[in-house]
Amino acid sequence: MVSHIASLVGILLIVGGSLGYELTRFEQLNDAKQQNFIKIKNLNVPAGKTLDLSNLKEGTTVEFIGRTTFGFQEWDGPMVKITGKNLKIVGVKGNLLDAEGQRWWNGKGADRGLRKPRMFEAIVDDSVITGLNFKNPPQACFVCNWCHNVKISWVNIDAKDGRNGLAFNTDGFGVGYAKNVTLSDSYVYNQDDCFVTGAGEDILVERLTCEGGNGISVGSLGGGAKVERVTVRNSKIINNLVGVNVKTGWNVQGALKDITFDNIELVDIQQFGISVHGNEGHPNFPGGDPTPFPIENLTINNVRGNLNGPGGANTWVWVAPGSAKNWKWNSKVTGGKSAMFRPRLECKGIPAGLQIPCAER
């Protein structure tokens, strides 16, 4: 009998465990973090507080269910933080992390006029993040810095309510100092980089659709940071300021190696269809001399599409002579005549022997 009860209790514990711990009130957060299956359901996170899911138990599953909301306060965030190993972070169908960023947006970017919290930060290893829906981040939305062996998929970021510059600096995905990270099947409507990496290796982006923002950027955080083996493929960039953006900083050191953009469709790009420049951050940008910065094994393959008018440039390359090594280039971007640039846009540093139609008039 005793053993029957014991096994019954055991079964109940297993069943209880598999049903998960429902986190519906913020006060439950510490209890929830002792569990290995956390269901975050219609949670309201108080103003100025992080939904702090750091140091979760190894192997924890976190589900976001329903609408997660946040109180208003001027602060830097993050609104949600997750750290740990071997985690599964899952957005259940119909989930929404709604930051209601319109309460902060003032058209002045991340840190002017009003402090705005960053939205979501994960520092995870050997983990999966899938199915999350983000709405109206106050500034940068999704950051996975120092992530290793992580698969991110089916994530939506929607800051469409902030178009026309209102929600400026709402970066979509940022991945820095990361290794072996995949982002796939995701969508961003925002007002800054759609995806950006400034440091890291073995990064794959595929089937990403970007609308409204500043393009897909591979760049450098400087301070010697390297970006190696990054592939962006089978993706679509619509109505962005820039399409493909390879940017290294003015007066900044580091290196880019093995960077590939393959099968990218550009639609109605405003300023640069493809830009590879070494003077990001120069006060006279796009003027200002590029700083020497090695960019080796850059492949632009089957990048095609149009500018939204003659003002923008289909392609612009502006790197210090000698920076570019072993580039391959096959693109067809049309519609731009570089008319918006005064003085006239020039190109510099294209490797000898490469035919790149640059700054066409």
Ligand X SMILES: *[C@@H]1O[C@H](CO)[C@@H](O)[C@H](O)[C@H]1NC(C)=O
Interacting residues with ligand X (CB under 6 A): 149-151, 180, 257-258, 296-297, 326
CB of 299 to ligand X, least distance (A): 9
Give whichever of 74 and 258 is closer to ligand X, judged by the CB atom: 258
Give whichever of 99 and 150 is closer to ligand X, judged by the CB atom: 150
Q: What is the DSSP letter of 94?
A: T
CA 297 – CA 229 distance, rounded (Å): 9
Give whichever of 32 and 199 is closer to ligand X, judged by the CB atom: 199
- Burial label for 352, CB within 10 Å (0-12, 13-18, 19+), is exposed
Residue with nearest beta carbon to ligand X: 149
State the Cα angle at 246 between 186 and 349, rounded to 5°.
160
State the Cα angle at 25 between 24 and 26, rounded to 5°.
125
Per the rule left: phi > 0, alpha: psi between -120 and 50, beta: everything else, 84 is left
CB of 2 to ligand X, least distance (A): 45
Cis preceding-peptide flag for 321 (omega within 30 of 0): no
Give whichever of 151 and 282 is closer to ligand X, judged by the CB atom: 151
Q: What DSSP letter does each residue of 133-191 carry, written as one string?
A: EEE--SS--EE-TT-EEEEEES-EEE-GGGTTTTTTT---EEEEEEEEEEEEEEEEE-S
Give whichever of 161 and 228 is closer to ligand X, judged by the CB atom: 228
Give whichever of 145 and 149 is closer to ligand X, judged by the CB atom: 149
CB of 296 to ligand X, least distance (A): 4
CB of 101 to ligand X, least distance (A): 30
Contacts of 129 (CB under 8 A, 6+ apart): 89, 122, 144, 150, 151, 152, 153, 155
Give whichever of 129 and 221 is closer to ligand X, judged by the CB atom: 129
CA 350 – CA 341 distance, rounded (Å): 20
CB of 262 to ligand X, least distance (A): 14
Give whichever of 42 and 149 is closer to ligand X, judged by the CB atom: 149
Give whichever of 255 and 339 is closer to ligand X, judged by the CB atom: 255
Residue ranges in 38-131 assigned as alpha helix (H): none
CB of 322 to ligand X, least distance (A): 14
CB of 324 to ligand X, least distance (A): 12
CB of 154 to ligand X, least distance (A): 15
CA 315 – CA 338 distance, rounded (Å): 9
**For 109-137, b where at least 16 C-beta lie within 10 A, e where not — what string?**
bbeeeeebbbbbbbbbbbbbbbbbbbbbb
CB of 183 to ligand X, least distance (A): 11
Contacts of 359 (CB under 8 A, 6+ apart): 313, 315, 316, 338, 344, 345, 346, 347
CA 114 – CA 212 distance, rounded (Å): 23
User: Residue 78 is encoded by which pair of tokens?
Assistant: 């993050």
CA 62 – CA 302 distance, rounded (Å): 39
